[in-house]
């Protein structure tokens, strides 16, 4: 239908569009909004037939609101029509009404849709990534804020040892002398540790499963202040080749521990039990005077440590401290060793030789195992004690010596006096003051502290991380009678650390005699092994090697021999 | 014959304009995102104050960094639904810009702001404070979800209510 003739210019334009495949359709709308005529490819865009004389916007929804044009042209690009084709709708104002032109844009819309879809998908992806990044940043900031609030320094360390990240607390805590703690440097620069601490930290850092290892304690000087830190290492969950180290500032705790330790550690002796605290005080008291002190205690209780402590706390501390193991001397040599000899005084006396009494001049001498000294030597020692002078073997002239004499024994000297093995007057002379050391079984409350102290010391000596001592191990240690006392405990801990594989001491790491004892504890009906049986078992286990057997039992070699003699043990018994 | 009212859906790309129209007109939610090019007109007849009214809903392409919605599409509209994505704060800013531009070019129009995707609680970025600020500025705001249908009917009804108030 084409009741209204097309203007020539419009007709030429539409013909050109037709040739270009735009499939034009057109209609004339009168000034009153009614449809007057239409033509072209109208069926291509509209499903419903058009009616002349009816309002155009009743028949074509897209025209609602657009009419009348009031002299202004209008354009609606890419309108989805009733037939699901896209068309550009143009309204051209004309005298007496308006021309509506529809031009197919389906291909153009399809192309644009493809491009637009890809573009929008990418933009959405980017927006999502940015959002996730923001969330991640916020999450990290929260974590860091928490770490800072908790006073925990976090340091990320690359596989090559380079520090790649420090949180704010770490920057403050680990600030170096020039006030910087920048990343990109080896951790050794950030943490100037002594070689032992550096080795322990390096071992923790390179451990396959650092979370299973105990924390390492470090002392670090930063900005002139000594800080005590505990280092805890974890795998970086984002890249397990990297490590995240958390440093906990325990300086204050360390100071408090130090104050506490003053009571539990005295001159390398450890103990916080009442008997040990009394002993520490006694040592302080006798150290102030020059009196001879007799130190009594079972083997392995630390008699020599007491002697060293008395010397270290005495005014003679800058003088020599000499230990003489009296049980180790033969009868023929003891006089010469103690008092010296003159050249030619006996066959092997090829030169003048001073004895240990003279060597200790100005200091302290410890006569260990004094109960094993032969009677004739006891007389000479008595003279040295009373006169403070000695006579070298082969000489007749006495020499003055300024020494303090300490004596130690695991024997009951009064019993030895009764048996005629020890001079009563010498006993009185050396027992001016007495320090009696309690056996470990009488101060069991010290066992956990001693065990941990020995574990830390043994680990440090071996450049290892101190293992955690499991509660079952502590229970076994507490149950054992410790005939070899503290020395045996230390040896047991060393033995267990050597066997320990995963940073946690377990019962099966302990020496078998302790385990046997713990098992017997669980079966009280089982008879306790006698000391002789223990000696034989240890000798068998060590194939008769005396040093190893004594070490295994936590007793000295001399004590081992003495006990073997006491029980009449011969090689035939353990072979 | 029913009264016809032209309503335009405006907003940034991918805020859910087409999905809201689908939910409102067809009660369905298309899971796949298809970007709109140009305009598609949907119809829904409702009763407003006892008068049967056909809403001609112009679902327009979304704005992005390179293309703005031409005001010629909105010419003769009775009201607009501005749509923003509550998980993308920048789309709220886009809605503000579009409204300002349309009012500059076409004069005052009834607007309702639909904050879509309220079902995505974990990713929701528009807090109550921002919402209250918009309402203080005179915005009619409706939280909604094209996916669940929550608030969609209410949003359209709110605009239709504004249209009848604005009608001469």
Q: For chain A, what are the domain ranges?
A: 8-104, 150-249, 267-436, 442-574
- Report the largest interatomic distance among the alpha carbons of chain B, rounded to a whole angstrom: 47
- Rg of the Cα trace of chain B? 15
Residue A71's contacts (CB-CB under 8 Å, 6 or more residues apart) are A93
Rounded-to-5 percentages of helix, strand, coil across chain A = 45, 20, 30
Quick: pLDDT tens for A127-163: 888 888 888 888 878 877 777 777 788 889 999 999 8
- Stretch A336-350: mean pLDDT, rounded? 81
Cβ neighbours of A65 in B, within 8 Å: 6, 75-78
> Regarding the domain with residue range A267-436, which homologous superfamily does it belong to in the CATH classification?
P-loop containing nucleotide triphosphate hydrolases (3.40.50.300)
Instruction: Report the alpha-carbon distance of residue A370 to residue A327 in Å, rounded.
Output: 8
Helix and strand numbers (H, E) in chain B are: 5, 6
Q: With contacts defined as CB-CB under 8 Å, which chain A residues touch B123?
A: 131
B118-143 residue pLDDT tens = 999 888 988 888 888 888 989 999 99
How far is B59 from chain A, CA to nearest CA, in Å? 10
Q: Which CATH topology does A150-249 take?
A: Beta-Lactamase (3.30.450)
- A116 neighbourhood in chain B, CB within 8 Å: 35, 37, 61
Q: What is residue A524's three-state secondary structure?
A: coil
Residue A30 has pLDDT above 60, yes or no: yes
The domain spanning residue B146 has which CATH number?
Answer: 3.40.50.300
Whether B72 and chain A come into contact, CB under 8 Å, resolves to: yes
**Do residue B70 and residue A79 have CB atoms under 8 angstroms apart?**
no
B14, B73, B76: residue with CB nearest A120? B14
Q: What is the CATH number of domain A442-574?
A: 1.10.8.60
From residue B54, give the alpha-carbon distance in Å to each of A22, A152, B48: 31, 66, 10
Give the lowest-confidence range in A83-97, A213-227, A348-362, B102-116.
A213-227
Lowest mean pLDDT among A75-84, A119-128, A518-527, B75-84: A518-527
pLDDT: which is higher, A503 or A298: A298
Query: Options 3.40.1350.10, 2.40.110.10, 3.30.450.20, 3.40.190.10; which CATH number does A8-104 get?
Result: 3.30.450.20
Which residue does chain A place closest to B87, by CA atoms? A131
Determine how many CB atoms are found less than 10 A away from the CB of residue A135: 12
**Residue A554 reports pLDDT greater than 80:** no
Of B109, B126, B131, the residue nearest B10 (C-alpha): B109
Residue-by-residue DSSP string for A57-113: HHH-GGGTTT-S-TT--EEEEEEE-TTS-EEEEEEEEETTEEEEEEEE-HHHHHHHH
**What mean pLDDT is reported for chain A?**
84
Q: What is the pLDDT of residues B48-106, one digit of tens each?
A: 888 899 999 999 999 988 889 999 999 999 999 999 999 998 999 999 999 999 999 99
The reply to whether A8-104 and A150-249 are identical in fold is yes
Of A146-150, A522-526, A537-541, B159-163, the one with minimum mean pLDDT is A522-526
As for how many domains chain B has, the answer is 1
pLDDT of residue B150: 96
CA–CA gap between residue B162 and residue B156 (Å, rounded): 10
- Say whether pLDDT at A419 is over 60: yes
pTM of the model: 0.49
Residues 117-136 of B with CB under 8 A from A: 123
CB contact under 8 A, B35 and A117: yes
Distance CA A21, CA B77 (A): 32
Q: Residue B58 belongs to what domain range?
A: 3-166
Q: How many CB pairs under 8 A join A and B?
A: 69
What b/e string do you get for B125-157 counting C-beta neighbours within 10 Å, with b at 16 or more?
bbeeeebeebeeeebbbbbbbbbebbbbeebbe
Percent of chain A at pLDDT exceeding 70: 91
Nearest to B14 among A66, A86, A124 (CB): A124
Q: Residues A209-219: what's their mean pLDDT? A: 85
Backbone angles phi and psi of B92, in degrees to 5: -70, -40
CA distance A96 to B17: 38
Chain A touched by B14 (CB under 8 Å) = yes
pLDDT value of residue B21: 97
């Amino acid at each position: 239908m084409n009741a209204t003739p097309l203007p020539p210019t419009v007709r030429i334009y539409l013909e050109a569009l037709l040739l270009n495949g735009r499939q034009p359709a057109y209609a004339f709308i009168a000034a009153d909004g009614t449809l007057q005529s239409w033509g072209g490819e109208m069926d291509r865009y509209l499903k419903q037939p058009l009616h002349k004389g009816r309002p155009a916007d009743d028949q074509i929804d897209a025209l609602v609101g657009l009419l009348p044009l009031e002299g202004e042209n209008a354009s609606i690009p890419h309108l989805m029509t009733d037939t699901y084709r896209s068309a550009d709708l143009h309204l051209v104002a004309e005298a007496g009404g308006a021309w509506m032109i529809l031009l197919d844009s389906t291909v153009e819309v399809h192309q644009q849709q493809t491009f637009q879809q890809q573009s929008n998908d990418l933009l959405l992806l980017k927006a999502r990534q940015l959002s996730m990044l923001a969330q991640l940043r916020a999450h990290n900031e929260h974590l860091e804020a928490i770490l800072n609030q908790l006073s925990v320094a976090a340091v990320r360390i690359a596989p090559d040892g380079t520090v790649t990240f420090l949180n704010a607390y770490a920057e403050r805590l680990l600030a170096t002398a020039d006030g910087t703690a920048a990343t990109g440097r080896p951790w050794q620069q950030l943490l100037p540790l002594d070689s032992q601490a550096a080795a322990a930290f390096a071992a923790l850092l390179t451990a396959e499963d650092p979370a299973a290892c105990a924390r390492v304690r470090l002392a670090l000087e930063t900005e002139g202040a000594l800080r005590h830190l505990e280092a805890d290492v974890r795998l970086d969950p984002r890249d397990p080749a990297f490590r995240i180290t958390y440093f906990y500032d325990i300086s204050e705790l360390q100071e408090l521990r130090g104050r506490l330790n003053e009571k539990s550690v005295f001159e390398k002796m450890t103990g916080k039990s009442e008997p040990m605290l009394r002993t520490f005080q006694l040592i302080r008291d006798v150290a102030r005077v020059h009196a001879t002190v007799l130190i009594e205690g079972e083997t392995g209780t630390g008699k020599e440590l007491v002697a060293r402590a008395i010397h270290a706390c005495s005014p003679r501390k800058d003088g020599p401290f000499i230990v003489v193991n009296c049980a180790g001397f033969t009868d023929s040599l003891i006089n010469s060793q103690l008092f010296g000899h003159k050249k030619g005084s006996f066959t092997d006396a090829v030169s003048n030789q001073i004895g240990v009494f003279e060597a200790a001049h100005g200091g302290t001498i410890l006569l260990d195992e004094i109960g094993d000294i032969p009677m004739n030597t006891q007389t000479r020692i008595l003279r040295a004690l009373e006169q403070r002078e000695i006579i070298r073997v082969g000489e007749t002239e006495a020499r003055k010596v300024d020494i303090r004499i300490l004596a130690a024994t695991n024997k009951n000297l009064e019993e030895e006096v009764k048996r005629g093995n020890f001079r009563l007057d010498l006993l009185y002379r050396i027992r001016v003051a007495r320090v009696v050391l309690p056996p470990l079984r009488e101060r069991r409350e010290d066992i956990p502290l001693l065990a941990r102290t020995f574990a830390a010391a043994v680990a440090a000596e071996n450049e290892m991380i101190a293992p955690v001592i499991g509660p079952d191990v502590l229970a076994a240690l507490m149950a054992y009678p410790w005939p070899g006392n503290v020395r045996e405990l230390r040896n047991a801990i060393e033995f267990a650390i050597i066997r320990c594989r995963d940073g946690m001491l377990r019962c099966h790491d302990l020496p078998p005699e302790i385990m046997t004892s713990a098992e017997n504890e669980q079966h009280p009906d089982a008879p306790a092994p006698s000391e002789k049986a223990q000696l034989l078992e240890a000798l068998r286990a060590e194939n008769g090697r005396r040093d190893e057997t004594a070490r295994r039992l936590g007793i000295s070699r001399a004590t081992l021999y003495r006990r073997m003699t006491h029980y009449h043990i011969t090689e035939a018994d353990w072979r | 014959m029913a009264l016809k009212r032209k309503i335009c859906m405006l907003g940034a790309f991918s805020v859910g304009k087409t999905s809201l129209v689908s939910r409102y007109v067809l009660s369905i939610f298309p899971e796949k995102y298809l970007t709109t090019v140009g305009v598609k007109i949907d119809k829904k007849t409702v009763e407003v104050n006892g008068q049967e009214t056909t809403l001609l809903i112009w679902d327009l392409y979304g704005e992005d960094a390179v293309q703005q919605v031409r005001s010629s599409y909105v010419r003769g509209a009775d009201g607009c639904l501005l749509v923003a994505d509550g998980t993308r704060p920048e789309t709220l800013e886009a809605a503000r810009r579009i409204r300002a531009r349309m009012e500059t070019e076409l004069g005052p129009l009834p607007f309702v702001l639909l904050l879509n995707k309220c079902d995505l609680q974990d990713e929701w970025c528009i807090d109550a404070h921002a919402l209250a600020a918009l309402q203080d500025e005179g915005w009619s705001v409706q939280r909604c979800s094209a996916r669940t249908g929550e608030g969609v009917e209410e949003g359209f009804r709110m605009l239709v209510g504004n249209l009848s108030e604005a009608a001469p």
